[in-house]
Amino acid sequence: MNKDFSIFILPKEHALLRESVRSLAEERIAPYAAEVDERGEFPHAAYAALIESNLHAAHISEEYGGEGADALATCVIVEEIARACASSSLIPSLNKVGTMPLILAGSEKLKRRYLPPVARGEAMFSYALSEPEAGSDAASMRTRADRDGDSYVLNGTKRWISGAGVSQYYTVMAVTDPDKRTGGISAFVVEKDDAGVSFGALERKLGIKGSPTREVYLDNVRLPGERMIGAEGTGFKTALSALDHTRVTVAAQALGIAQGALDYAASYVKERHQFGRAIAEFQGVQFMIADMAMKLEAARQLTYAAAAKSERGDDDLAFYSAAAKCFASDTAMEVATDAVQLLGGNGYVKDYPVERMMRDAKITQIYEGTNQIQRVVMARELIRAIR
């Protein structure tokens, strides 16, 4: 796909991609979104549809059997799926965050072993960084990876792991040298079927209920040394570098949720009549719709700019990815909440989709780094740039 793109007008290839993904999402994903949310079940139908269209892990390069989609194309894919069903949008999003450390720092042997099955739709890939006592302070992780000859033995618990139990592969961060703090953390590929790997119960979540979230337990999990991603002690750096790229994807998910909520609310206010006319004719309602659309478009332009920087690997990517994720997710929460308000009582019941969108939007402000942490990242990058 063309990588020399403008952040203001989508290149033709990306515009056509948006049309294609939107059509697929409306026909084969949206009809099941409410059911997926109600039952809290993984969206198997959506996964099958995405695999058929090669949209489940399009970011993987053609060299490893993928589509070679650039960062902007991946954002468009996630955005359009999220517009229909946020849970389903976690499929391409998870595959990207799970494989990104491998793409950035993995050996050629690791890439050839693990990327092709994901590209073919035979496996999903999750990212395991957080722990019960290490959320925003990820450097405080306690999961250990002790060297034993040519192997490493992993012990510990990972928490809030999206896709846990469904994904076949996991990028796991573990401490190999506790005296070195962040410099003593290494990254590994763990397989679901490795001896000693088990999973906790499903978390009972507010939103994105179709994306399973569980704890991952590592009990004397023995891995060959070749499963390490990059050199020993580089795992934390790799983890942060990966998040710089994938926070843009979270921003895209937030855009999709917000767009879905705005589209539904705008249609509703045109049809809903009070005091003898459509409520869309009332200035107060018009102001709300205008603000929703204005903030959403600002978030979209910032997200697409961050996607361009991700594709180029710009030095200021950390700032822009944090800004895009923070602003887009705050916007999604505001837009979805306003959509509920515009529907009044109808917005508060499950017969209408905006209450689901409001619940789904909340997590975008939390995962892959809370928005408070994103502000810390932005401030740190700004101060660092001052000479």
Token pair of 102 as six digits: 């491998």
Question: Do the beta carbons of residue 217 and residue 199 sit within 8 Å?
Answer: yes
Q: 345-349 long-range CB contacts below 8 Å, 24 or more apart? A: 346/268
Closest CA to 364 of 256, 290, 291: 256
Query: Measured between alpha carbons, how far is 143 from 98 in angstroms, rounded to an integer?
Result: 18
* In contact, 337 and 100? CB cutoff 8 Å: no
| Amino acid identity for residue 300 in this structure | R
Sign of the dihedral through C-alpha 48, 366, 213, 237:
positive
Angle at 106 between CA 103 and CA 112, to 5 degrees: 80
State the catalytic residue, choosing from 26, 311, 368, 381: 368
Residue 108 annotated to the active site: no
Contacts of residue 94, defined as CB under 8 A and 6 or more positions apart, other chains included, come to 124, 125, 126, 127, 162, 163, 167, 211
Please state whether beta strands 213-224 and 197-199 pair in parallel, antiparallel, or not at all (unpaired). Answer: antiparallel
Quick one: which of 55, 64, 173 has its CA closest to 110? 64
Phi-psi bin for 208: left (phi > 0), alpha (psi -120 to 50), beta? left
Which strand (E) or helix (H) includes residue 15?
A: helix 12-24
Q: Which residues contact 334 (CB under 8 A, 6 or more apart)?
A: 292, 295
Q: Which residues are known catalytic residues?
A: 368
